[in-house]
Structure 1
Amino acid sequence: MSTEAAPARSAADPALLARGLAALRIFVGVIALSNGLAKLFSFRMIDIGPYSGTLVDRPEARGILEGEAARNDLPLVPSIVNDVVLPSYDVMQWLVTFTELGTGALLILGLLSRGAALIVFAQHFGLQLLYFSSGGFAFEQPHEWVPPLILALVPAGLVWGLDGRLGRNRDGLRWPS
């Protein structure tokens, strides 16, 4: 019988890091998919057991765009919202809805994870710019765009994702994970 203890796992353990990134990927995917479903089926409240949350539906998204663009003093942001997005909101609302649904599903499945995360990052960082002048969500808004940025920079679909399975089955072909 040995008195030596098993070596402790380091926080830098690659397998542990990969599982943590996979959990983050799935979590970001659930958020995107939930907001897409809220826009598709026009609901705002979600209750799962003791958890209750508020999502943004299509009419509320338009109201946010109108209100924040009116207060925004960054160059280009008000003109992009007022001259491009709002006049074509009948199309843009569905583009945003299906972008959230698609990227959310891709992130949950771990398929084309980095590309999906890059799209989510662009969408959420754009919201950060929209909220910039009003101070609304200025402090907490980075929690929405920093995780997708991390997921866009590192391959997070290799564990618990289809990117890892597809990459293993391709000799000499690098799957974009």
Structure 2
Amino acid sequence: MTTRATTKDTQDPLLDPILFARGMAVIRIFFGIILFANGLAKLEPSLGRIDLGPYHANLITRDGARGILNFEVNERRIREGAPQGTQVPGLKPFVNDVVLANWGIFQWLVVLIELGAGGLLMLGLATRLGALVGLGQQLFLALVYVSSNRWLFEQPHEYVPLIVLAIVPAGRLWGLDARLVRDTPAFRRWPF
């Protein structure tokens, strides 16, 4: 006698794993491009200005990054009579006495972070590590902006996807992590 199984195994999945993996790969590559492009603009400032017909945009150069950091930490005033600069305890002395005072070093650290994390994400290589490195930079910027009266969602859309990419192995489709995991099963764990 043959019986037909009607278990959960024969039902269509609620989530197509291939479609999900493709979506994660697109987000991974997109965030990699964002980081990498900003890193390139810091290497070559002429890449920081984009003019394509009626479309005009910019990327942040090294001088631009220094200027933004100085303005947000020391000069921004959210309303008339409010104190200038960040109100986050300890941030102003750290940025002024460590980061800006040593900008000659920190500017290249920013370039390395953006090119490195961006490259890893685009290639899908050590994807979760690349996302974690990019996340560190974005969380620092979120701290800089926390008291600057920004649009509520301006910073979270920069770091929430990187949190997800640091957790989910998004480099296993359209990425080099797939080959590493396939060839060396020990690489099935984080950061691949």
Q: TM-score, normalised by structure 2?
A: 0.81
- C-alpha distance in structure 1 between counterparts of 2:54 and 2:30, whole Å: 18
**Identity across matched positions, percent:** 49
Matched residue, 1:45: 49
Q: Name the stretch that deviates more: 78-87 or 18-27.
A: 78-87
Matched residue, 2:95: 81
- C-alpha distance in structure 1 between counterparts of 2:161 and 2:131, whole Å: 9
1:161 Cα deviation after fit: 0.2
1:125 aligns with 2:145: no
Q: Name the stretch that deviates more: 75-84 or 158-167.
A: 75-84
Output one character per residue of 1:13-43: Cα deviation in whole Å (capped at 9) or x when no partner: 1111111000000000000000000000013
Quick check: which has more Rg, 1 or 2? 2
1:160 Cα deviation after fit: 0.3
Corresponding residue pairs, total: 169
Question: Match of 2:50, SS?
Answer: strand
Equivalent of residue 22 in structure 2, options 19, 23, 34: 19
- C-alpha distance in structure 2 between counterparts of 1:145 and 1:172, whole Å: 29
In structure 2, runs of 5+ residues without a counterpart are 1-11, 75-84
1:47 Cα deviation after fit: 4.2
Matched residue, 1:6: none
Judging changes above 3 Å, is the alpha-carbon distance between structure 1 residues 48 and 26 closer, same or farther for their aligned structure 2 residues?
Answer: farther
Checking the alignment, whether the CA contact within 8 Å between 1:18 and 1:159 is kept in structure 2 is yes
- C-alpha distance in structure 2 between counterparts of 1:23 and 1:51, whole Å: 23
Matched residue, 2:79: none
- C-alpha distance in structure 2 between counterparts of 1:150 and 1:50, whole Å: 35
Computed over aligned residues only, the root mean square deviation of the Cα atoms, in angstroms, reads 1.9
Matched residue, 1:34: 37
Judging changes above 3 Å, is the alpha-carbon distance between structure 1 residues 72 and 168 closer, same or farther for their aligned structure 2 residues?
Answer: same
Checking the alignment, whether the CA contact within 8 Å between 1:131 and 1:138 is kept in structure 2 is no
Q: TM-score, normalised by structure 1?
A: 0.88
Counterpart residue type for residue 142 of structure 1: P
Checking the alignment, whether the CA contact within 8 Å between 1:69 and 1:81 is kept in structure 2 is yes
